[in-house]
Structure formats: structure tokens, C-alpha cells
Structure 1
């Protein structure tokens, strides 16, 4: 990467280099116990996820379900390194309805 940036490598080669470095680093960390947090379509877990946005849920069953992952979170040996940044669905009962 250093050589590519010094020699004015074209953008595509630089991006490819960054992707290769990421893949190698992720592979090495995965061997040490790194795991991605899989939050999408799961019940919101405040210990692993940070809800940045909400959107209306159509029914109570969708309440607190992660509908979009804005930034991937990671765990290392069951400890949270970085929470996932997510959008969740929130159900709001109509007046007169009970939750």
C-alpha cells in the first residue's frame, strides 16, 4: 500500500490493496476469536447494538427488531469490541389499543 500510494497508483489498484490488507487482518483476528455481530432481523440487544434510528413497525411482533445495520459490530472472545450501529422498528399502539 505504501509503495502504491507513493507511486501514484490508480484508484482501483489502491482499493484492491486496501481490500487485501483488510482480508488478511480480518483472517488473523478471526483466528484469535474475532466475530462479527449479526444483528439484522434479530431482536435488539442493547449490550451488542446501539440504536441510532427507528422506523414504525407494522405490528407488535416487529417491535425492537433490527431492520438495518448501519455499521458492523465485533466481539472478541465473547467481549464486545464495538457495538453494531443499527436502525430498529418500534411499534406504537393506536389509542384505545393495549400492547
Structure 2
């Protein structure tokens, strides 16, 4: 499984509009073949930082997502609302194990 974690700094005056754009992106992305999950949240400690957590079956699914038209539209739409460049982190996961909570 491939996991991509993005941190997207949003301008505070753009948060409502950016939230709509991010939500549309998540809904469209979850429809793609090979996408296990795609979620967007806002950081509690830094409320203008959106966190995107993407889970894919394999690199082929990532490549398909990267070439999708809705990703291109998203990038064009979100850019005016960003405070600075996003940070992306990619992980290759061999096992996903549900852990017990506290």
C-alpha cells in the first residue's frame, strides 16, 4: 500500500473556499480505481493547515491519480488559496495492522 500525506498551508481568509475545493477533490479521488481512502482534515493546532491522507493499492493507482483531470483542476483551484507551497510525504507500507487504543 502507498500512503501519501500532504500538508497544505491555506490562507486564513480563504479557508471556507479552500475547504470546498478540498472536499470536492476528496470525493472525486475516492471514486478512482485503486484508491483505498482519501481524507482531508484541518490541523487542530494549526487550523489553516489542511492535511490530506491518501491511501492507494499500488504505485499504478498513484500514477493514475497523478494524471487525472480532477487533480489538475484541483491544483489550479487551490493554488490561489495557499499561503505557501505544500509539503508531501510518501510511504510504502507492507502491513496495516489495527492497533488497540488506550
Whether TM exceeds 0.5 here: the answer is no
User: TM-score scaled to structure 1, two decimals?
Assistant: 0.29
The structure richer in helix per residue is 2
Q: Larger relative contact order (C-alpha < 8 A, sep ≥ 6)?
A: 2
Larger Rg: 1
User: TM-score scaled to structure 2, two decimals?
Assistant: 0.28
